[in-house]
């Protein structure tokens, strides 16, 4: 289980996650794949699309909220234990990982760890 791998995880339902770290004492830092917003998010969030072009059996996005003084951003960063990871769905390219890292930097993400799943996440097979 390595950084850049996409796994199905158990959040009381199967959801896809991208591992952002290797296993640490507290678990794996991951980001949930969610459904695209379907509206213009300019100035509010950045979405990095993942799916068939990366060889994945799903279509979705990694969404990073941009910092704004009038909003409390929702985070899709989670910490998962090895037993939460059900099966591997694929691996992202280093170029796609760079795109995700750029989005996280734009969002000034502090890589906070959360186990709360967001609504409308991309569901498993």
Contact between 106 and 41 (Cβ < 8 Å): no
Place of tokens 């991208």: 18
- 41 occurs within a structural domain: yes
Whether 83 is in a domain gets the answer yes
Structural domain span for residue 61? 5-107
**Confidence at 69, pLDDT banded by 50, 70, 90:** confident
Number of domains in the chain: 1
Per residue in 36-68, pLDDT (tens digit) is: 988 888 888 889 999 999 889 999 999 988 777
Contact 113, 25 (CB under 8 A): no
Residue 99 has pLDDT above 90, yes or no: yes
Task: Quote the pTM value.
Answer: 0.79
Confirm whether 46 is domain-assigned: yes
Q: Looking at residue 74, what is its pLDDT?
A: 66
Specify the CATH number for the domain of residue 88. Answer: 2.30.30
Q: Could you tell me if residue 31 is inside a domain? A: yes
pLDDT at 81: 92
53 lies in a domain? yes
pLDDT tens digits, 23-39: 888 889 999 999 998 88
* 119 inside domain: no
- The stretch 4-19 carries a mean pLDDT of 93
């Amino acid at each position: 289980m390595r950084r850049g791998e996409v796994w199905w995880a158990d959040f009381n339902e199967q959801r896809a996650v991208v591992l952002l770290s290797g296993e640490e004492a507290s678990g794996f830092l991951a980001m949930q794949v969610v459904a695209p917003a379907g509206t213009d998010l300019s100035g509010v969030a950045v979405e990095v699309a993942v799916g068939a072009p990366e060889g994945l059996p799903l279509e979705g996005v990694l969404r990073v909220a941009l910092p704004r003084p009038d909003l409390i951003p929702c985070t899709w960063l989670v910490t998962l234990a090895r037993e939460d990871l059900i099966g591997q769905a694929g691996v992202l390219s280093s170029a796609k990982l760079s795109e995700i890292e750029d989005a996280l930097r734009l969002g000034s993400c502090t890589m906070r760890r959360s186990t709360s799943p967001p609504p409308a996440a991309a569901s498993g097979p």
